[in-house]
Amino acid sequence: MTSSDPVLVDLGAAIDAALAAADLPPVDDPAFERPRDPDHGDWASTLALRLAKPARMAPRAIADAVVAHLDLPDAVASVEIAGPGFLNFRLSDDHNATMVRDILARGRALRPVERTGERINVEFVSANPTGPLHIGHGRWAAVGDAVAELLAAVGHEVVREYYVNDAGGQVVTFGETLVLTARGEVLDDHHYQGRYVTRVATQLRADWGDEIFEEEGPGDLPGWVAALGGEAVDDTDAPHGSAGDGTGRMSHRLALRVGILGAEVMRQRLEGTLHDLGVDFDTWFSERRELHDTDAVADTLADLEAAGATYVEDGAVFLRTAEHGDDKDRVLVRANGVPTYFAADCAYLRNKFARADHLVYILGADHHGYVARLKAAAACLGHPPDALEARIGQMVNLLRDGEPAKMSKRAGTFVELSQVVDEVGADVTRYHFLRSGLDTALDFDLARVAEQSMDNPVYYVQYAHARISSLLRTADERGFDHGTPGEADFTRLVHPAEADLLRELDKVDEVVAAAAELRATQRLTRYAEDLAATFHRFYTECRVLVDDVELGRARYHLAAAARQVLADVLGLLRVSAPDRM
Protein backbone atom coordinates (compact mmCIF):
# COMPACT_ATOMS: atom_id res chain seq x y z
CA MET A 1 0.00 0.00 0.00
CA THR A 2 2.60 2.51 1.07
CA SER A 3 4.97 0.95 -1.42
CA SER A 4 3.39 3.14 -4.07
CA ASP A 5 5.22 6.04 -2.45
CA PRO A 6 8.26 6.63 -4.67
CA VAL A 7 10.40 7.43 -1.66
CA LEU A 8 9.61 4.12 -0.02
CA VAL A 9 10.14 2.23 -3.22
CA ASP A 10 13.64 3.66 -3.50
CA LEU A 11 14.37 3.28 0.17
CA GLY A 12 13.09 -0.27 0.20
CA ALA A 13 15.37 -1.14 -2.68
CA ALA A 14 18.31 0.45 -0.90
CA ILE A 15 17.54 -1.59 2.20
CA ASP A 16 17.30 -4.79 0.21
CA ALA A 17 20.73 -4.07 -1.21
CA ALA A 18 22.13 -3.27 2.21
CA LEU A 19 20.76 -6.50 3.67
CA ALA A 20 22.36 -8.48 0.89
CA ALA A 21 25.66 -6.67 1.29
CA ALA A 22 25.59 -7.34 5.02
CA ASP A 23 24.89 -11.03 4.50
CA LEU A 24 21.54 -10.73 6.21
CA PRO A 25 18.40 -12.56 5.12
CA PRO A 26 16.01 -10.58 2.93
CA VAL A 27 12.69 -9.27 4.25
CA ASP A 28 9.47 -9.33 2.31
CA ASP A 29 8.39 -6.06 3.85
CA PRO A 30 10.62 -3.32 5.29
CA ALA A 31 7.71 -2.43 7.58
CA PHE A 32 7.81 1.32 7.14
CA GLU A 33 5.69 3.41 9.43
CA ARG A 34 5.19 7.02 10.33
CA PRO A 35 6.60 7.59 13.81
CA ARG A 36 4.27 9.26 16.25
CA ASP A 37 7.06 11.39 17.64
CA PRO A 38 8.64 13.86 15.17
CA ASP A 39 11.97 13.32 16.91
CA HIS A 40 11.88 9.85 15.39
CA GLY A 41 12.03 11.20 11.87
CA ASP A 42 9.66 11.12 8.92
CA TRP A 43 9.75 7.38 8.37
CA ALA A 44 10.80 4.47 10.54
CA SER A 45 11.48 0.82 9.83
CA THR A 46 11.16 -1.99 12.36
CA LEU A 47 12.90 -4.52 10.19
CA ALA A 48 15.82 -4.92 12.58
CA LEU A 49 13.39 -5.90 15.33
CA ARG A 50 11.58 -8.33 13.08
CA LEU A 51 14.79 -9.77 11.76
CA ALA A 52 16.30 -10.40 15.19
CA LYS A 53 14.85 -13.86 15.59
CA PRO A 54 15.39 -15.33 12.12
CA ALA A 55 18.88 -13.84 11.90
CA ARG A 56 19.64 -14.78 15.50
CA MET A 57 21.27 -11.44 16.13
CA ALA A 58 20.60 -8.52 18.41
CA PRO A 59 18.32 -5.94 16.76
CA ARG A 60 20.83 -3.15 17.27
CA ALA A 61 23.57 -5.19 15.64
CA ILE A 62 21.33 -5.79 12.64
CA ALA A 63 20.50 -2.11 12.46
CA ASP A 64 24.20 -1.24 12.62
CA ALA A 65 24.98 -3.62 9.78
CA VAL A 66 22.16 -2.31 7.60
CA VAL A 67 23.12 1.31 8.16
CA ALA A 68 26.77 0.57 7.42
CA HIS A 69 25.85 -0.73 3.97
CA LEU A 70 22.95 1.62 3.26
CA ASP A 71 23.15 3.93 0.27
CA LEU A 72 20.40 6.47 0.93
CA PRO A 73 18.32 7.74 -1.99
CA ASP A 74 18.27 11.49 -2.65
CA ALA A 75 14.90 11.93 -1.01
CA VAL A 76 16.25 10.71 2.30
CA ALA A 77 18.65 12.97 4.16
CA SER A 78 19.63 10.82 7.09
CA VAL A 79 19.15 7.61 8.99
CA GLU A 80 19.74 6.92 12.62
CA ILE A 81 19.31 3.99 14.95
CA ALA A 82 17.14 4.55 17.98
CA GLY A 83 15.66 2.67 20.89
CA PRO A 84 15.76 -1.11 20.66
CA GLY A 85 16.70 -0.99 16.97
CA PHE A 86 14.39 1.30 15.07
CA LEU A 87 15.77 2.81 11.87
CA ASN A 88 14.64 6.42 11.71
CA PHE A 89 14.79 8.21 8.39
CA ARG A 90 14.54 11.90 7.72
CA LEU A 91 13.40 13.28 4.38
CA SER A 92 15.67 15.71 2.56
CA ASP A 93 15.05 19.39 1.88
CA ASP A 94 15.11 18.44 -1.75
CA HIS A 95 12.25 16.02 -1.29
CA ASN A 96 10.19 18.52 0.68
CA ALA A 97 10.67 21.24 -1.92
CA THR A 98 9.64 18.87 -4.69
CA MET A 99 6.62 17.75 -2.71
CA VAL A 100 5.35 21.31 -2.23
CA ARG A 101 6.06 22.29 -5.82
CA ASP A 102 4.27 19.21 -7.15
CA ILE A 103 1.14 19.93 -5.16
CA LEU A 104 1.03 23.51 -6.42
CA ALA A 105 1.96 22.65 -9.98
CA ARG A 106 -0.76 20.06 -10.42
CA GLY A 107 -3.27 22.08 -8.39
CA ARG A 108 -4.17 18.90 -6.62
CA ALA A 109 -3.04 17.40 -3.33
CA LEU A 110 -2.84 13.83 -4.51
CA ARG A 111 -0.34 12.30 -6.86
CA PRO A 112 -2.03 11.00 -9.99
CA VAL A 113 -3.09 7.37 -9.67
CA GLU A 114 -3.44 4.77 -12.36
CA ARG A 115 -6.96 3.84 -13.32
CA THR A 116 -7.63 0.34 -12.09
CA GLY A 117 -10.45 -0.31 -14.51
CA GLU A 118 -12.32 -2.01 -11.70
CA ARG A 119 -16.02 -1.14 -11.66
CA ILE A 120 -17.24 -0.78 -8.11
CA ASN A 121 -20.88 -0.44 -7.21
CA VAL A 122 -21.50 1.15 -3.82
CA GLU A 123 -25.02 0.71 -2.53
CA PHE A 124 -26.13 2.57 0.54
CA VAL A 125 -29.18 3.98 2.32
CA SER A 126 -31.77 2.13 0.16
CA ALA A 127 -34.49 2.95 2.67
CA ASN A 128 -38.02 1.97 1.68
CA PRO A 129 -39.94 4.71 -0.17
CA THR A 130 -42.81 4.39 2.24
CA GLY A 131 -41.45 6.60 4.99
CA PRO A 132 -38.97 9.35 5.76
CA LEU A 133 -35.24 8.92 6.38
CA HIS A 134 -34.09 8.86 9.95
CA ILE A 135 -30.80 9.80 11.53
CA GLY A 136 -29.24 6.39 10.89
CA HIS A 137 -29.83 6.74 7.17
CA GLY A 138 -27.90 9.97 7.36
CA ARG A 139 -24.92 8.08 8.65
CA TRP A 140 -24.96 5.52 5.84
CA ALA A 141 -25.49 8.33 3.35
CA ALA A 142 -22.48 10.29 4.54
CA VAL A 143 -20.25 7.25 4.84
CA GLY A 144 -21.33 5.62 1.60
CA ASP A 145 -20.87 8.83 -0.31
CA ALA A 146 -17.40 9.44 1.12
CA VAL A 147 -16.33 5.83 0.62
CA ALA A 148 -17.42 6.09 -3.00
CA GLU A 149 -15.42 9.28 -3.35
CA LEU A 150 -12.38 7.60 -1.82
CA LEU A 151 -12.63 4.60 -4.12
CA ALA A 152 -12.81 6.92 -7.11
CA ALA A 153 -9.80 8.83 -5.80
CA VAL A 154 -7.67 5.70 -5.84
CA GLY A 155 -8.58 4.94 -9.43
CA HIS A 156 -11.73 2.81 -9.51
CA GLU A 157 -14.84 3.35 -11.61
CA VAL A 158 -17.51 4.02 -9.02
CA VAL A 159 -21.29 4.05 -9.09
CA ARG A 160 -23.39 5.23 -6.15
CA GLU A 161 -26.58 3.24 -6.10
CA TYR A 162 -29.86 3.38 -4.20
CA TYR A 163 -32.14 0.36 -4.34
CA VAL A 164 -35.75 1.45 -4.27
CA ASN A 165 -38.07 -1.16 -2.77
CA ASP A 166 -41.06 0.10 -4.71
CA ALA A 167 -42.80 -3.24 -5.09
CA GLY A 168 -44.50 -5.70 -2.82
CA GLY A 169 -47.05 -5.66 -0.10
CA GLN A 170 -45.58 -2.66 1.61
CA VAL A 171 -46.45 -0.51 -1.39
CA VAL A 172 -50.04 -1.71 -1.25
CA THR A 173 -50.14 -1.03 2.46
CA PHE A 174 -48.74 2.42 1.81
CA GLY A 175 -51.45 2.98 -0.77
CA GLU A 176 -54.14 1.90 1.68
CA THR A 177 -52.70 4.29 4.23
CA LEU A 178 -52.78 7.16 1.80
CA VAL A 179 -56.29 6.48 0.63
CA LEU A 180 -57.64 6.19 4.17
CA THR A 181 -55.80 9.34 5.17
CA ALA A 182 -57.21 11.21 2.20
CA ARG A 183 -60.69 10.07 3.12
CA GLY A 184 -60.16 11.07 6.72
CA GLU A 185 -60.74 7.51 7.93
CA VAL A 186 -58.99 5.91 10.87
CA LEU A 187 -55.89 3.82 10.27
CA ASP A 188 -55.26 0.32 11.49
CA ASP A 189 -52.19 -0.77 13.40
CA HIS A 190 -50.42 -2.12 10.33
CA HIS A 191 -50.73 1.13 8.41
CA TYR A 192 -47.97 3.71 8.22
CA GLN A 193 -48.06 6.40 10.84
CA GLY A 194 -46.73 9.89 10.90
CA ARG A 195 -47.29 13.39 9.65
CA TYR A 196 -45.48 12.68 6.42
CA VAL A 197 -48.37 10.49 5.29
CA THR A 198 -50.62 13.51 5.16
CA ARG A 199 -48.02 15.46 3.24
CA VAL A 200 -47.73 12.73 0.64
CA ALA A 201 -51.50 12.47 0.32
CA THR A 202 -51.71 16.21 -0.13
CA GLN A 203 -49.02 16.06 -2.79
CA LEU A 204 -50.88 13.33 -4.65
CA ARG A 205 -54.09 15.32 -4.56
CA ALA A 206 -52.25 18.36 -5.91
CA ASP A 207 -50.64 16.35 -8.69
CA TRP A 208 -53.57 14.21 -9.74
CA GLY A 209 -56.75 15.57 -8.24
CA ASP A 210 -59.19 13.98 -5.78
CA GLU A 211 -60.13 11.25 -8.23
CA ILE A 212 -56.84 9.57 -7.51
CA PHE A 213 -58.26 8.26 -4.25
CA GLU A 214 -61.45 6.94 -5.80
CA GLU A 215 -62.13 3.42 -6.96
CA GLU A 216 -62.96 4.52 -10.46
CA GLY A 217 -60.13 6.91 -10.87
CA PRO A 218 -59.43 8.50 -14.20
CA GLY A 219 -57.53 6.30 -16.60
CA ASP A 220 -56.25 2.78 -16.25
CA LEU A 221 -53.54 1.80 -13.87
CA PRO A 222 -51.06 1.02 -16.62
CA GLY A 223 -51.58 4.56 -17.81
CA TRP A 224 -50.89 6.00 -14.41
CA VAL A 225 -47.75 4.00 -14.11
CA ALA A 226 -46.65 4.85 -17.61
CA ALA A 227 -46.92 8.49 -16.62
CA LEU A 228 -44.09 7.78 -14.22
CA GLY A 229 -41.93 6.31 -16.93
CA GLY A 230 -42.48 2.74 -15.88
CA GLU A 231 -43.93 -0.26 -17.60
CA ALA A 232 -47.37 -1.65 -17.04
CA VAL A 233 -47.87 -3.93 -14.10
CA ASP A 234 -50.37 -6.64 -13.52
CA ASP A 235 -52.95 -5.02 -11.33
CA THR A 236 -55.23 -7.94 -10.91
CA ASP A 237 -53.41 -9.75 -8.17
CA ALA A 238 -50.55 -9.30 -5.76
CA PRO A 239 -47.55 -10.94 -7.36
CA HIS A 240 -45.00 -9.59 -4.92
CA GLY A 241 -46.66 -10.13 -1.61
CA SER A 242 -49.97 -9.63 0.05
CA ALA A 243 -51.55 -6.38 0.93
CA GLY A 244 -51.79 -5.77 4.63
CA ASP A 245 -54.59 -7.82 6.09
CA GLY A 246 -57.12 -7.09 3.39
CA THR A 247 -59.19 -4.55 5.22
CA GLY A 248 -61.84 -4.72 2.58
CA ARG A 249 -62.23 -0.97 2.69
CA MET A 250 -60.93 -0.58 -0.85
CA SER A 251 -59.88 -2.66 -3.81
CA HIS A 252 -56.38 -3.98 -4.11
CA ARG A 253 -56.23 -2.23 -7.43
CA LEU A 254 -56.83 1.16 -5.85
CA ALA A 255 -54.34 0.57 -3.05
CA LEU A 256 -51.68 -0.52 -5.51
CA ARG A 257 -52.24 2.43 -7.81
CA VAL A 258 -52.01 4.97 -4.99
CA GLY A 259 -49.15 3.08 -3.36
CA ILE A 260 -47.05 3.18 -6.50
CA LEU A 261 -47.67 6.86 -7.04
CA GLY A 262 -47.15 7.61 -3.36
CA ALA A 263 -43.89 5.69 -3.29
CA GLU A 264 -42.60 7.78 -6.17
CA VAL A 265 -43.57 10.99 -4.37
CA MET A 266 -41.83 9.69 -1.29
CA ARG A 267 -38.76 8.68 -3.24
CA GLN A 268 -38.42 12.18 -4.61
CA ARG A 269 -38.59 13.52 -1.09
CA LEU A 270 -35.84 11.14 -0.03
CA GLU A 271 -33.77 12.25 -2.97
CA GLY A 272 -34.26 15.85 -1.95
CA THR A 273 -33.30 15.19 1.65
CA LEU A 274 -30.16 13.37 0.57
CA HIS A 275 -29.30 16.14 -1.83
CA ASP A 276 -29.59 18.62 1.02
CA LEU A 277 -27.06 16.48 2.83
CA GLY A 278 -24.79 16.70 -0.20
CA VAL A 279 -25.41 13.14 -1.33
CA ASP A 280 -26.39 12.52 -4.94
CA PHE A 281 -26.82 9.02 -6.30
CA ASP A 282 -25.85 7.96 -9.80
CA THR A 283 -28.49 5.27 -9.93
CA TRP A 284 -31.93 5.00 -8.39
CA PHE A 285 -32.68 1.36 -9.07
CA SER A 286 -36.38 0.66 -9.16
CA GLU A 287 -37.19 -2.84 -8.03
CA ARG A 288 -40.58 -2.66 -9.68
CA ARG A 289 -39.47 -1.38 -13.07
CA GLU A 290 -36.15 -3.18 -13.38
CA LEU A 291 -36.99 -6.51 -11.80
CA HIS A 292 -40.75 -7.08 -11.76
CA ASP A 293 -41.76 -5.36 -14.98
CA THR A 294 -39.11 -7.45 -16.74
CA ASP A 295 -38.24 -11.12 -16.85
CA ALA A 296 -35.35 -10.57 -14.46
CA VAL A 297 -36.69 -12.70 -11.62
CA ALA A 298 -37.72 -15.58 -13.85
CA ASP A 299 -34.42 -15.45 -15.71
CA THR A 300 -32.51 -15.50 -12.45
CA LEU A 301 -34.49 -18.45 -11.16
CA ALA A 302 -33.75 -20.25 -14.40
CA ASP A 303 -30.04 -19.50 -14.08
CA LEU A 304 -29.94 -20.74 -10.52
CA GLU A 305 -31.83 -23.87 -11.43
CA ALA A 306 -29.54 -24.52 -14.38
CA ALA A 307 -26.58 -24.15 -12.05
CA GLY A 308 -28.04 -26.87 -9.88
CA ALA A 309 -28.29 -24.50 -6.95
CA THR A 310 -31.99 -25.07 -6.30
CA TYR A 311 -34.29 -27.89 -5.22
CA VAL A 312 -37.97 -28.30 -4.48
CA GLU A 313 -39.30 -29.30 -1.09
CA ASP A 314 -42.87 -29.17 0.23
CA GLY A 315 -43.81 -27.40 -2.97
CA ALA A 316 -41.40 -24.53 -2.41
CA VAL A 317 -38.21 -23.80 -4.37
CA PHE A 318 -35.12 -23.52 -2.17
CA LEU A 319 -31.70 -22.06 -2.92
CA ARG A 320 -28.73 -24.00 -1.57
CA THR A 321 -27.30 -21.11 0.40
CA ALA A 322 -26.26 -23.33 3.31
CA GLU A 323 -23.52 -24.74 1.11
CA HIS A 324 -21.99 -21.25 1.02
CA GLY A 325 -21.96 -20.28 4.65
CA ASP A 326 -25.60 -19.45 5.31
CA ASP A 327 -27.35 -20.95 8.32
CA LYS A 328 -29.93 -22.71 6.20
CA ASP A 329 -31.25 -22.88 2.69
CA ARG A 330 -33.59 -20.06 1.68
CA VAL A 331 -36.90 -20.12 -0.10
CA LEU A 332 -37.00 -18.55 -3.54
CA VAL A 333 -40.54 -19.44 -4.53
CA ARG A 334 -43.20 -20.08 -1.94
CA ALA A 335 -45.39 -23.16 -2.07
CA ASN A 336 -48.14 -20.91 -3.42
CA GLY A 337 -46.01 -20.11 -6.44
CA VAL A 338 -45.21 -16.53 -5.48
CA PRO A 339 -41.50 -15.62 -5.51
CA THR A 340 -40.09 -14.34 -2.22
CA TYR A 341 -38.44 -11.04 -1.67
CA PHE A 342 -35.19 -12.97 -1.62
CA ALA A 343 -35.79 -14.06 -5.20
CA ALA A 344 -35.95 -10.42 -6.21
CA ASP A 345 -32.72 -9.84 -4.33
CA CYS A 346 -31.05 -12.58 -6.31
CA ALA A 347 -32.26 -10.98 -9.51
CA TYR A 348 -30.91 -7.68 -8.32
CA LEU A 349 -27.56 -9.27 -7.53
CA ARG A 350 -27.43 -10.77 -10.99
CA ASN A 351 -28.24 -7.39 -12.51
CA LYS A 352 -25.55 -5.68 -10.47
CA PHE A 353 -22.86 -8.16 -11.35
CA ALA A 354 -23.59 -7.55 -15.00
CA ARG A 355 -22.68 -3.91 -14.40
CA ALA A 356 -19.87 -4.09 -11.84
CA ASP A 357 -16.89 -6.17 -10.80
CA HIS A 358 -17.13 -5.48 -7.12
CA LEU A 359 -20.13 -4.74 -4.95
CA VAL A 360 -19.94 -2.74 -1.76
CA TYR A 361 -22.91 -2.58 0.61
CA ILE A 362 -23.12 -0.15 3.47
CA LEU A 363 -25.69 -1.66 5.79
CA GLY A 364 -27.02 -0.98 9.25
CA ALA A 365 -26.48 -3.52 11.99
CA ASP A 366 -30.16 -4.36 11.79
CA HIS A 367 -29.48 -5.93 8.38
CA HIS A 368 -26.42 -7.92 9.31
CA GLY A 369 -28.39 -11.16 9.44
CA TYR A 370 -29.00 -10.72 5.74
CA VAL A 371 -25.37 -10.72 4.67
CA ALA A 372 -24.72 -14.46 4.83
CA ARG A 373 -27.53 -15.33 2.43
CA LEU A 374 -26.59 -12.47 0.13
CA LYS A 375 -23.01 -13.70 -0.16
CA ALA A 376 -24.29 -17.22 -0.57
CA ALA A 377 -26.57 -16.06 -3.36
CA ALA A 378 -23.60 -14.42 -5.06
CA ALA A 379 -21.73 -17.70 -4.80
CA CYS A 380 -24.70 -19.59 -6.26
CA LEU A 381 -24.63 -17.16 -9.17
CA GLY A 382 -21.00 -18.10 -9.70
CA HIS A 383 -19.19 -15.12 -8.23
CA PRO A 384 -16.17 -15.30 -5.92
CA PRO A 385 -16.86 -14.61 -2.23
CA ASP A 386 -14.79 -11.43 -2.12
CA ALA A 387 -16.71 -9.83 -4.98
CA LEU A 388 -19.46 -8.89 -2.56
CA GLU A 389 -18.35 -6.76 0.35
CA ALA A 390 -20.78 -5.89 3.11
CA ARG A 391 -19.85 -3.19 5.58
CA ILE A 392 -21.99 -3.29 8.66
CA GLY A 393 -22.41 -0.04 10.50
CA GLN A 394 -23.60 0.16 14.07
CA MET A 395 -26.62 2.18 15.02
CA VAL A 396 -27.00 5.85 15.77
CA ASN A 397 -28.63 6.94 18.99
CA LEU A 398 -30.38 10.22 18.50
CA LEU A 399 -30.33 12.23 21.70
CA ARG A 400 -31.41 15.62 22.84
CA ASP A 401 -29.67 16.93 25.93
CA GLY A 402 -28.49 13.48 26.79
CA GLU A 403 -32.00 12.03 26.70
CA PRO A 404 -33.01 9.60 23.95
CA ALA A 405 -35.07 11.37 21.33
CA LYS A 406 -37.99 8.98 21.04
CA MET A 407 -38.12 7.55 17.57
CA SER A 408 -41.75 6.63 17.78
CA LYS A 409 -43.68 7.22 14.60
CA ARG A 410 -46.90 6.55 16.43
CA ALA A 411 -46.33 9.24 19.01
CA GLY A 412 -45.37 11.71 16.31
CA THR A 413 -42.00 12.34 17.93
CA PHE A 414 -40.11 10.76 15.07
CA VAL A 415 -37.17 12.98 14.16
CA GLU A 416 -36.52 12.95 10.44
CA LEU A 417 -33.11 13.30 8.89
CA SER A 418 -34.25 16.38 7.03
CA GLN A 419 -35.01 18.08 10.35
CA VAL A 420 -31.55 17.25 11.64
CA VAL A 421 -29.92 18.66 8.53
CA ASP A 422 -32.05 21.79 8.78
CA GLU A 423 -31.20 22.17 12.43
CA VAL A 424 -27.44 21.63 12.46
CA GLY A 425 -26.41 21.90 8.82
CA ALA A 426 -25.14 19.47 6.21
CA ASP A 427 -21.42 19.96 6.83
CA VAL A 428 -21.76 19.40 10.56
CA THR A 429 -23.99 16.38 10.13
CA ARG A 430 -21.75 14.74 7.56
CA TYR A 431 -18.56 15.47 9.39
CA HIS A 432 -19.92 14.09 12.64
CA PHE A 433 -20.72 10.78 10.97
CA LEU A 434 -17.51 10.57 9.00
CA ARG A 435 -15.42 11.10 12.10
CA SER A 436 -16.14 7.67 13.56
CA GLY A 437 -15.54 4.15 12.39
CA LEU A 438 -18.54 2.11 11.26
CA ASP A 439 -18.05 -0.36 14.09
CA THR A 440 -18.80 2.23 16.71
CA ALA A 441 -22.34 2.82 17.84
CA LEU A 442 -22.72 6.58 17.77
CA ASP A 443 -24.51 9.11 19.85
CA PHE A 444 -25.87 12.11 18.00
CA ASP A 445 -27.03 14.68 20.49
CA LEU A 446 -29.00 17.35 18.66
CA ALA A 447 -28.74 19.87 21.45
CA ARG A 448 -25.06 19.31 21.94
CA VAL A 449 -24.15 19.35 18.27
CA ALA A 450 -26.10 22.54 17.73
CA GLU A 451 -24.73 24.09 20.87
CA GLN A 452 -21.16 23.23 20.00
CA SER A 453 -21.53 24.41 16.48
CA MET A 454 -19.02 27.18 16.90
CA ASP A 455 -16.45 24.79 18.33
CA ASN A 456 -17.26 21.91 16.08
CA PRO A 457 -14.24 20.10 14.64
CA VAL A 458 -15.48 20.68 11.13
CA TYR A 459 -15.27 24.43 11.67
CA TYR A 460 -11.79 24.04 13.02
CA VAL A 461 -10.73 22.47 9.75
CA GLN A 462 -12.73 24.83 7.59
CA TYR A 463 -11.35 27.76 9.50
CA ALA A 464 -7.82 26.72 8.66
CA HIS A 465 -8.77 26.71 5.01
CA ALA A 466 -10.50 30.08 5.22
CA ARG A 467 -7.58 31.51 7.12
CA ILE A 468 -5.11 30.52 4.44
CA SER A 469 -7.41 31.90 1.77
CA SER A 470 -7.52 35.16 3.66
CA LEU A 471 -3.76 35.14 4.00
CA LEU A 472 -3.25 34.69 0.29
CA ARG A 473 -5.80 37.41 -0.45
CA THR A 474 -4.08 39.80 1.90
CA ALA A 475 -0.75 39.05 0.27
CA ASP A 476 -2.18 39.98 -3.09
CA GLU A 477 -3.81 43.13 -1.77
CA ARG A 478 -0.51 44.26 -0.36
CA GLY A 479 1.34 43.42 -3.52
CA PHE A 480 3.47 40.82 -1.81
CA ASP A 481 6.01 39.52 -4.30
CA HIS A 482 5.58 35.78 -3.76
CA GLY A 483 7.20 34.67 -7.01
CA THR A 484 6.69 31.12 -8.24
CA PRO A 485 7.08 27.90 -6.27
CA GLY A 486 10.01 27.04 -8.50
CA GLU A 487 11.83 30.17 -7.46
CA ALA A 488 11.20 29.69 -3.76
CA ASP A 489 14.03 28.52 -1.55
CA PHE A 490 12.39 25.98 0.72
CA THR A 491 15.61 25.39 2.62
CA ARG A 492 14.70 28.58 4.43
CA LEU A 493 11.96 26.64 6.21
CA VAL A 494 13.86 25.62 9.34
CA HIS A 495 11.39 26.52 12.09
CA PRO A 496 9.95 23.46 13.89
CA ALA A 497 6.44 24.56 12.97
CA GLU A 498 7.45 24.66 9.32
CA ALA A 499 9.04 21.23 9.51
CA ASP A 500 5.90 19.87 11.14
CA LEU A 501 3.72 21.27 8.39
CA LEU A 502 5.95 19.82 5.67
CA ARG A 503 5.83 16.44 7.35
CA GLU A 504 2.05 16.57 7.60
CA LEU A 505 1.59 17.54 3.97
CA ASP A 506 3.80 14.66 2.89
CA LYS A 507 1.33 12.16 4.40
CA VAL A 508 -1.72 12.96 2.33
CA ASP A 509 -1.32 10.27 -0.33
CA GLU A 510 -0.85 7.43 2.09
CA VAL A 511 -3.69 8.64 4.31
CA VAL A 512 -6.08 8.62 1.38
CA ALA A 513 -4.84 5.25 0.18
CA ALA A 514 -5.29 3.70 3.61
CA ALA A 515 -8.70 5.30 4.12
CA ALA A 516 -9.88 3.94 0.78
CA GLU A 517 -8.45 0.50 1.42
CA LEU A 518 -10.07 0.25 4.83
CA ARG A 519 -13.22 2.19 3.88
CA ALA A 520 -12.35 4.24 6.94
CA THR A 521 -13.50 7.82 6.56
CA GLN A 522 -12.35 8.69 10.08
CA ARG A 523 -8.79 8.46 8.82
CA LEU A 524 -9.47 11.48 6.67
CA THR A 525 -11.21 13.56 9.30
CA ARG A 526 -8.41 12.87 11.77
CA TYR A 527 -5.83 13.82 9.22
CA ALA A 528 -7.73 16.98 8.33
CA GLU A 529 -7.78 17.95 12.00
CA ASP A 530 -4.10 17.18 12.46
CA LEU A 531 -3.22 19.17 9.40
CA ALA A 532 -5.38 22.10 10.48
CA ALA A 533 -3.77 22.08 13.91
CA THR A 534 -0.31 21.97 12.38
CA PHE A 535 -1.16 24.86 10.16
CA HIS A 536 -2.65 26.95 12.96
CA ARG A 537 0.55 26.45 14.95
CA PHE A 538 2.65 27.43 11.96
CA TYR A 539 0.48 30.47 11.39
CA THR A 540 0.85 31.57 14.98
CA GLU A 541 4.58 31.11 15.15
CA CYS A 542 5.70 31.96 11.65
CA ARG A 543 4.62 35.21 10.11
CA VAL A 544 4.30 34.80 6.36
CA LEU A 545 4.30 38.33 5.01
CA VAL A 546 7.70 39.33 6.33
CA ASP A 547 10.31 41.76 5.04
CA ASP A 548 12.72 38.92 4.40
CA VAL A 549 11.33 38.23 0.92
CA GLU A 550 13.00 34.86 0.42
CA LEU A 551 11.63 33.53 3.70
CA GLY A 552 8.22 35.04 3.01
CA ARG A 553 8.06 33.41 -0.40
CA ALA A 554 8.85 29.98 0.95
CA ARG A 555 6.21 30.35 3.67
CA TYR A 556 3.66 31.68 1.21
CA HIS A 557 3.93 28.62 -1.01
CA LEU A 558 3.98 26.31 1.96
CA ALA A 559 0.70 27.82 3.12
CA ALA A 560 -0.73 27.60 -0.39
CA ALA A 561 0.12 23.91 -0.53
CA ALA A 562 -1.52 23.37 2.85
CA ARG A 563 -4.66 25.04 1.55
CA GLN A 564 -4.70 22.76 -1.46
CA VAL A 565 -4.42 19.67 0.69
CA LEU A 566 -7.13 20.84 3.08
CA ALA A 567 -9.41 21.65 0.17
CA ASP A 568 -8.93 18.25 -1.42
CA VAL A 569 -9.35 16.29 1.79
CA LEU A 570 -12.55 18.17 2.57
CA GLY A 571 -13.55 17.55 -1.03
CA LEU A 572 -13.16 13.81 -0.57
CA LEU A 573 -15.38 14.05 2.47
CA ARG A 574 -17.70 16.22 0.42
CA VAL A 575 -17.61 18.88 3.06
CA SER A 576 -17.32 22.45 1.85
CA ALA A 577 -14.00 24.31 2.01
CA PRO A 578 -14.96 27.96 2.35
CA ASP A 579 -12.65 30.89 1.54
CA ARG A 580 -14.47 33.00 4.11
CA MET A 581 -16.55 32.06 7.12
Partner RNA sequence: GCCCCCGUAGCUCAGUGGAUAGAGCACCGGCCUCCGGAGCCGGAUGCGUAGGUUCGAUUCCUACCGGGGGUACCA
Within 376-415, the residues that bind RNA by CB under 7 A are: 392, 394-395
How far is the C-alpha of 271 from the C-alpha of 322, rounded, in Å? Answer: 37
Angstrom distance (rounded) from CA 372 to CA 321: 8
Encoded one letter per residue, x for contact with RNA by CB under 7 A and - for no contact, window 490-509 reads --------------------
- 339 or 485, CB closer to RNA? 339
Using the contact rule CB under 7 A, the part of the chain among 49-57, 210-218, 273-281, 421-429 near RNA is 49-57
- 342 counts as binding RNA under rule CB under 7 A: yes
Residue 52 binding RNA, by CB under 7 A: yes
Under rule CB under 7 A, residue 459 binds RNA: yes
Q: Name the residue type at position 36.
A: R
Please enumerate in sequence order all residues whose Cβ is within 8 A of that of 359, keeping only pairs 6 or more positions apart, or say none. 120, 121, 123, 349, 352, 353, 378, 387, 388, 389
* DSSP bridge pairs for 317: 312, 333
Candidates 14-22, 209-217, 375-383, 450-458 — which segment interacts with RNA by CB under 7 A?
A: 450-458
Count CB-CB contacts under 10 A for residue 22: 16
State the distance between the two ends of the chain, measured CA to CA, in whole angstroms: 37
- Kindly tell me which of 105 and 545 has the beta carbon lying closer to RNA: 545
Q: How far is CA 239 from the centre of its chain?
A: 35
The site that binds RNA (CB under 7 A) totals a number of residues, namely: 96
Asked if 370 touches RNA (CB under 7 A), the answer is yes
Handedness of CA 157, 160, 163, 166 (dihedral sign): negative
The DSSP result for 501-562, as a single string, is HHHHHTTHHHHHHHHHHHT-HHHHHHHHHHHHHHHHHHHHHS-SS-S-HHHHHHHHHHHHHH
Whole-number Cα distances in Å, 557 to 59, 153, 335, 450, 507: 41, 25, 72, 36, 18
Site string for RNA, 470-489 (x = CB under 7 A): xx--xx--------------
In angstroms, the CA 555 to CA 576 distance is 25
How far is C-alpha 44 from the chain's CA centre? Answer: 31
Subset of residues 104 to 163 that bind RNA, contact rule: CB under 7 A: 128
Burial of 447 (0-12, 13-18, 19+ CB in 10 A): middle
Contacts to RNA from residues 244-303, by CB under 7 A: none
Among 6, 54, 83, 218, binds RNA (CB under 7 A): 83
Q: Which stretch binds RNA (CB under 7 A): 204-212, 301-309, 311-319, 412-420?
A: 311-319
Residue 53 binds to RNA (criterion: CB under 7 A): yes
Applying CB under 7 A, among 270, 331, 558, 562 the residue interacting with RNA is 331
Cβ proximity to RNA, 242 vs 419, nearer residue: 242
Nearer to RNA, 356 or 468 (CB): 468
Kindly state the smallest distance separating residue 395's Cβ from RNA, in Å: 5
CB atoms within 10 A of CB 283: 16
Interface of this chain with RNA, residues 534 to 563, rule: CB under 7 A = 536-537, 539-545
Among 195, 355, 368, 410, binds RNA (CB under 7 A): 368
**Binding marks (x or -) toward RNA, 19..38, rule CB under 7 A?**
------------x-x-xxx-
Answer yes or no whether residue 447 interacts with RNA by CB under 7 A: no
